[in-house]
Amino acid sequence: MQAKYRKVAVGGTFEHFHRGHQALLSKAFELGEKVLLGISGEKLASRKGVTQSLELRTQNVRDFLRSRGWEERAIVFTLEDPFGPAPEDPELEAIVVSEETEPAAREINKLRGERGLKPLDIVVIPWVLAEDGLPISSERVRRGEITPEGKVIVGEVKMDTRPSKDEYYLGIAKSVAQRSPCIRRQFGAIVVKEDVVVSTGYNGPARGVVNCMEVGCLKEEMKVPHYTGYEWCIGVHAEENCIINAARHGASVLGGTLYLYGQDYRDGSLVEGRPCDRCKRVLINAGIKRVVIKRADGSILKLDVEDWVKEDTGSYKKKLLEVRRHGSRVEG
């Protein structure tokens, strides 16, 4: 059967090479005469918690290509950035992605448009499911939940192989973040009381207002650094929306724990998002007792909101003294 495209792109970490990876590559080689195949380098992969070496992941991919007779049609390279050459390769016609990485493909097309290149056809491969009905992923294989073929591991699995409660709730916050229409950084927040999720929220504009996916990002075009220039952003922060949504539905967050997860829109890598001063004050007044954050290195940061009260008090008193001492010369 003749290939639909002369050249297509596909990429990933390819950690614990599994059936989902096989489906992704099979579709790429079904559609393309030549396949530009990027494998995440060590630095890029480490952002996603990958533990297997680049050498092993590359060998596993090459072994699969060889078993299918596709090796000569593949252009295998190491991805040192989220997009590789896809935004500027004029010969590329399509890109094959998973549901998780589709946002990155849209960003690639945006960059190609800025360079005067045709957008790529985006081919999305649905999740390949394990026997428990949940998606097969490298993360699940790494945790020992399933095999690369999707079989559930039973028998000698110990209770401590389950994610902790904080990890579990941060996983839910991650799903919430993926609903954010922000094209820079996506954040998801949930409030939990007595092991019940009582509210969720992600960063995005006020209800009914256009979002950045529709019209573009002002901060991005002005090259405003992250965590600054909030006055240029149309969005409401995830923490704020979480508290607002609880109020809209009459749910109490008093005494609850807020979980916050952040990721880069382009490649899904972890982003540490500590609440800004404005959000801290919202959480203090809402009665949140604890904030749990997924850090950029994959670790978990736990914060006591009561400490923010002391910090805010001390900071305000310090600024007040400086103003009284120096007058209008004090900034920030």
Torsion angle of C-alpha atoms 130, 133, 139, 145, degrees rounded to 10: -70
Q: For strand 94-98 and strand 121-125, is the pairing parallel, antiparallel, or unpaired?
A: parallel
**DSSP states along 273-301:** -PPPHHHHHHHHHHT--EEEEE-TTS-EE
**How would you class 155 by CB atoms within 10 Å of its CB: exposed for 0-12, middle for 13-18, buried for 19 or more?**
exposed
Q: Which residues are known catalytic residues?
A: 239
Backbone angles phi, psi at 317, to 5 degrees: -65, -40
The terminus-to-terminus CA distance of the chain in angstroms comes to: 65
**195 phi-psi bin (left φ>0, alpha ψ -120 to 50, beta other):** left
Alpha-carbon distance values, 326 to 320, 321, 322, 330, 331 (Å): 10, 9, 6, 6, 10
Backbone angles phi, psi at 14, to 5 degrees: 55, 35
**How would you class 160 by CB atoms within 10 Å of its CB: exposed for 0-12, middle for 13-18, buried for 19 or more?**
exposed
Spatial distance between the Cα atoms of 33 and 131, rounded to a whole number of angstroms: 33
- Are 176 and 259 in contact by the 8 Å Cβ rule? The answer is no
Instruction: For the sheet with 74-79, list strands across it.
Output: 74-79, 32-40, 5-12, 94-98, 121-125
Helix (H) or strand (E) holding 237: none
Helix (H) or strand (E) holding 165: helix 165-177
